[in-house]
Amino acid sequence: MTTNISTITIRLPDDSTRELPSGSTGFDLAMSIGKRLGQAAVATVVNGIETDLGVSLVDGAKVSIITADSDAGRHVLRHSTAHVLAQAVVQLFVGAKFSIGPAIEDGFYYDFELPNSKTFSDDDLAKIQQRMQEIVKADQPFVRSEMSARDALKLFSDQPYKCEIIERVTQGDADSSDAGEAGSADAVSVYRNTDDFVDLCRGPHVPSTSRLGHFALMKVAGAYWRGNEKGPMLQRIYGTAWESKAALAEHLHRLEEAEKRDHRRLAVEMDLLSFPQELGGGLAVWHPKGGIVRKLMEDYSRERHQNGGYKFVFTPHLANAHLFETSGHLQFYKDGMYPPMEMDNGTYYPKPMNCPMHCLIYRDRQRSYRELPLRLFELGTVYRYERAGTLHGLLRIRGFTQDDSHIFCTEEQMADEIASLLDFVLSVLRRFGFNDFDFKLSTRNLEKSVGSDEIWGKATEALTEALNRHGLKYTVSPGDAAFYGPKIDIDVRDAIGRKWQLSTIQCDFNLPERFGLEYIATDNARKRPIMLHRALFGSIERFFGVLLEHYGGAFPTWLAPIQVRVLAVASAHEQYALEVTETLSKLGYRVDQLVADEQLGKRIRASKLERIPYVLVVGDDDIAGATVGVNPRGGDVIRGVSLNDFIQQLAADVGQENNLQKHV
Ligand SMILES: [Zn+2]
Ligand SMILES: [Zn+2]
């Protein structure tokens, strides 16, 4: 192969190479691979750096193409759409100041300040959106240039927030959001769309605004500049943007679905639990119907742990500050803890985690290798301080109960323990109807970690091997582990495709050290055990909230607070309805009866709102024939079913689930 100076060689992600005329851009490369790739391309990664599609490639560069339908591609689309939003706002609102406009999950936002403290109305949003569409149609290019800080300050002289960012970046005290806006200290980069609109930005961007268009503005909210409550209050416009009309429509549909499934709303409709104001923010009380589901979850958890060789322990809600000094929580986790209580010449804290107390149980006496692995289990209630603004029903709450375990084991036992933990987690999650998982392995941050290279290597290998042994696909987050050990996070996808982080399996080389935990090994030497932290549900509250949204309140029959409701057509049938109710109740089903003081249709509707799996209606014919009319949730009414047949159907429905339960 001869190298011609008029061609360049580009290395692709699969390590194949491709020759292109010199001066070729990322776009040319994508087109040379395929027209469809060219049309889908929004940016490139050149030698590890995200770059605009229109930049000329240099000989020998390693290049991959970012397409619009990838996470990175959507990020580019969203951030580019944020620029278009800013342009529309400064055109429509004379004197508007704009500050930052990053891409976020599923969308983007931009913060503005309007003259005379004016705020955006809903009508304004519609107007802005229309102007944005005009900008898209105008096919404006995103043209990058770099300049000195001095020139940039001049260019943005009427934009005080931009000037502040430029100054912070060039003085070297930029935070991550500044860097995203302005590039590096050496040169400030800007993107120009028209003679009138230029924005400070690191990029990359789509080549031109015509690549955008599938977006919607969602809402306006107040936001402090740089999150500082003493600083100016800006107006934040949120939007969402996608690679296609269909993807946008799907997202908007998902939002609608999510709204319908909001667990806070379902909890009220179904009388499951509440957050009384008198109780204080982020704290819930469970009503009887929510309590039934919770008890079933806890019973299931206890049974599984009992079968899994766990030992049940109980620990108090408070501890002396000394404990959290020993554990390091006061050093590293104080912001997440409730404030202290002073009493009896001591300082006490509500516990944010159960681990320190489990370490005390371990340390209470000398341990032998024969006792390991020692698996301690507790449904432990913890209290964590969350800022009021971040509280969200059961999903972000200040007091909650973890299905918490700490496993103390030898180095040799670690791999098997982790592998069986992974089985355990998956079977529990599947039992509750989750079948779509994402696994993330977080590995060591060399600058911030305790423990030897050897032990980190072994633990990371054990986690990796467990994932591989199960044939699970996972992503690695290099350097993302806590300082005390690597971990696996398990996300589930719910019925409408949302991702929830629920379970973790975490290795810990730190707490055994801090608490001086030891065991006597086979050779009589004293050794340090390894500690594994592990929660399956995570928190019962959060898991319940996710479950409620996953099922949209329609719990499977084995979990439903009320499995069967019996309705008499009229008062004359009440006695028979009662007999049916009692028969089912004696068989152990959760069944109730709504007295016929309202029209049947109304009672059926009320029962549907409670998402009861079976509503039985009984009238004259049923009394005569010992039958019931079966109204299954989401199905059609079947009249004249013999009570015995219905009982068999119910047993099969609940029993199927029970068989699953036995599949350990
Ligand atoms: Zn930008
Ligand atoms: Zn723990």
Distance between Cα 347 and ligand 2 center (Å): 22
What SS3 state is found at 446? coil
Catalytic: 251?
Answer: no
Give the global pTM.
Answer: 0.76
Report the separation in Å between the CA atom of 533 and the middle of ligand 2, taken as the mean of its atom positions. 5
Query: Residue 659: its pLDDT value, please?
Result: 43
Residue 44 has a pLDDT of: 96
Whether residue 384 lies in the annotated active site: yes
- Token pair of 421 as six digits: 């933990």
The rounded distance, in Å, linking the Cα atoms of 385 and 407 is 26
How confident is the model at residue 608, as a pLDDT? 87
Q: 531 alpha carbon to ligand 2 midpoint, in Å?
A: 9
Say which of 28, 124, 178, 404 is annotated catalytic.
404
Q: Are 135 and 84 in contact (CB under 8 A)?
A: yes
Ligand 2 centroid to residue 662 C-alpha, Å: 28
Which residue is catalytic, options 384, 550, 590, 611? 384
Nearest C-alpha neighbor of 32 from the set 41, 50, 44, 20? 20
Q: Does the structural domain 72-256 have CATH classification 3.40.50.300? A: no
Closest ligand to residue 353's CA: 2
**Cα-to-centroid distance, 660 and ligand 1 (Å):** 51
Which CATH number is 564-662 given? 3.40.50.800
Residue 402 annotated in active site: yes
Distance CA 375, CA 421 (A): 11
Looking at the CA of 534, which ligand is closest? 2
Q: What share of the chain is helix, strand, coil (3-state, %, to 5)?
A: 40, 30, 35
The verdict on whether 438 is a catalytic residue reads no
CA 217 – CA 211 distance, rounded (Å) = 17
Note residues around ion ligand 1 (Cβ under 5 angstroms): 201
How far does the centroid of ligand 1 lie from the alpha carbon of residue 479, in Å?
A: 27
- Domain ranges for the chain: 7-67, 72-256, 269-315+354-550, 564-662
pLDDT of residue 562: 95
Partners of 167 in the β-ladder: none
User: Quick one: three-class SS letters along 361-405?
Assistant: HHHCCCCEHHHCCEEEEEEEEEECCCCHHHCECCCECCEEEEEEE
Q: Which ligand is nearest to the Cα of residue 192, counting in written order?
A: 1
In the prediction, which pLDDT does 660 show?
41
Residues of the chain with pLDDT under 70: 1-5, 173-185, 656-664
Among 214, 289, 406, 550, the active-site one is 406
The highest-level CATH class for domain 269-315+354-550 is alpha beta
Is residue 577 a contact partner of residue 567, using CB atoms and an 8 Å limit? yes
> Of 163, 201, 355, 507, which one is the catalytic site residue?
355
Cis peptide before 373 (omega within 30 of 0): yes
Q: Is 151 helix (H, G, I), strand (E, B) or coil?
A: helix
Residues near 228 by Cβ (< 8 Å), separated by ≥ 6? none
Q: Provide the pLDDT for residue 170.
A: 80
Q: What is the pLDDT of residues 23-41, one digit of tens each?
A: 999 999 999 999 999 999 9
Whole-angstrom Cα distance, residue 529 to residue 539?
26
Alpha-carbon distance 492 to 644, whole Å? 39
Q: Please provide residue 599's backbone torsions phi and psi, each rounded to the nearest 5 degrees.
A: -55, 145
Evaluate whether 7-67 and 269-315+354-550 have a shared fold. Answer: no
Residues with CB under 5 A from ligand 2 (ion): 355, 533
User: In a 10 Å sphere around its CB, with 0-12 CB exposed, 13-18 middle and 19+ buried, how is residue 5 labelled?
Assistant: exposed
* Sequence-ordered list of residues with C-beta below 8 angstroms from that of 565, at least 6 positions apart, any chain: 591, 592, 593, 594, 607, 610, 612, 614, 615, 616
Structure tokens at 267: 């909890």
Q: Which residue in 74, 202, 289, 487 is the catalytic one?
A: 487
Token couple for 497: 């495709």
Report the C-alpha gap between 322 and 324 in whole angstroms: 5
Q: What class is the 7-67 domain? A: alpha beta
Distance of CA 550 from the midpoint of ligand 2 (Å): 27
Residue with tokens 């898209």: 136
Q: Ligand 1 center to residue 206 CA distance, Å?
A: 10
Catalytic residue among 162, 398, 533, 611: 533
For ligand 1, the distance from its centroid to the CA atom of residue 136, given in whole angstroms, is 16
In the reported structure, the alpha carbon of residue 84 is separated from the centroid of ligand 1 by a whole-number distance in angstroms of 10
Whether 392 is catalytic is no
Compute the distance between CA of residue 467 and CA of residue 461 in angstroms, rounded to an integer. Answer: 10
Compute the distance from residue 452 Cα to the ligand 2 centre, in Å: 21
- Ligand that comes closest to the CA of residue 357: 2
Distance CA 457, CA 509 (A): 12
286 by DSSP, 3-state: which? strand
